[in-house]
Amino acid sequence: MAREDTPLDQEVFDRVLKEQLEAGTDKRVAEGRARSAAVRAYKTAHPEEEAAPAAAASGGNGEAQAPAAAAAGAAPAAAAAPAQGQAAMVAAAPASAPTRTAPLPTGNIPSPKKGAPDKHRLLALVPPEGIQRVEREQGDRVNVWPHLLIEEFVAMFVLSVGLVVFSTFVNAPLRELANANLTPNPSKAPWYFLGLQELLRYFHPLVAGISIPTFILVGLAAVPYVDRNPSNRPGDRKIAITLFTMMFMFGAVLTIIGSFFRGPGFNWTWPWAQGVFFEL
């Protein structure tokens, strides 16, 4: 539907234009505001035209043909769309148009008119289904800058200070040169593997060293596909939380035993009696 064809209330147009111009508004802006007020006034006064399909108007504008035809799939919805205030943006198609068709390329590339300015404004015609509608609940949101970034900065700062202070006073261990002929007693893995080393006391290496770690990793990765409970409220997830906590505590206890309660020969020692055999 061409802009000039939109019915409007001339009386309201004149009145608003005068008001706007008196208020010192730029002429073009004033005209735009007056027009929108007049169109709204006309629509309020003629509600019966709202529901009528815009088929009669669709032939008016040559450039609007292609997107208009594209809207045919959703013709009733598209016909209602202009009524919802999108008249200038969306040209609705006749309800009978069967398929989406784009005009064949003519090969005629329009050249700018003589004396046309270098920059000019374009009005895009967009069929309603061409707009990607993002449905997202807005909820209670805050700006990342400054709120989140400041929090992250403080966390980074606190961690850095803690690490710098610790590194200033506690030296990382460096034992004597590696010697393939001299096995230290006890010889321990890094602390995060000491739970597994502890398991080696009870099971065959194939079980403790291969099967169980594989099971833990694969099991962890499978968690979201096994736990199909959609709720994330702790009250609804008693089984999941209990199981995970038990496994986590089990691993932690094994690691602590392997770290602090195992001495020479990886035999049981009490840290307060025989001392701690643990290096980071």
Q: Which is nearer to another protein, 157 or 268 (CB)?
A: 157
**Smallest distance from the beta carbon of 276 to another protein, in angstroms?**
15
- Tokens 């995970």, residue located: 244
Q: Which is nearer to another protein, 166 or 272 (CB)?
A: 166
Residue 241 contacts another protein per CB under 8 A: yes
Report the site for another protein in 146-165 (rule: CB under 8 A): 146-149, 151-152, 155-156, 159-160, 163-164
CB 21, CB 30: distance < 8 Å: yes
Rule CB under 8 A: choose which of 32, 53, 73, 209 binds another protein: 209
Report the site for another protein in 80-139 (rule: CB under 8 A): 136, 139
Please tell me the count of residues contacting another protein according to CB under 8 A: 73
Report the site for another protein in 43-82 (rule: CB under 8 A): none
Rule CB under 8 A: choose which of 62, 110, 112, 190 binds another protein: 190
**Smallest distance from the beta carbon of 183 to another protein, in angstroms?**
6
- With contacts defined by CB under 8 A, name the span among 28-36, 71-79, 86-94, 225-233 that binds another protein: 225-233
Which phi and psi angles does 82 have, rounded to 5°? -60, -30
Q: Which is nearer to another protein, 59 or 162 (CB)?
A: 162
Q: Which is nearer to another protein, 192 or 270 (CB)?
A: 192
* Residue among 130, 77, 124, 70 at smallest CA distance from 99: 70
CB 276, CB 265: distance < 8 Å: no
Helix (H) or strand (E) holding 76: helix 75-80
Q: How many CB atoms are located within 10 Å of the residue 195 CB?
A: 23
Which phi and psi angles does 268 have, rounded to 5°? -65, 130
* Residue among 27, 46, 45 at smallest CA distance from 35: 27
- With contacts defined by CB under 8 A, name the span among 12-20, 40-48, 57-65, 223-231 that binds another protein: 223-231
* Residue among 206, 191, 204 at smallest CA distance from 254: 191
Structure tokens at 109: 């590339």
- Residue 258 CA to residue 252 CA, distance in Å, equals 10
Residues 6+ positions from 30 with CB-CB distance below 8 Å: 16, 17, 20, 21
Rule CB under 8 A: choose which of 23, 51, 180, 273 binds another protein: 180
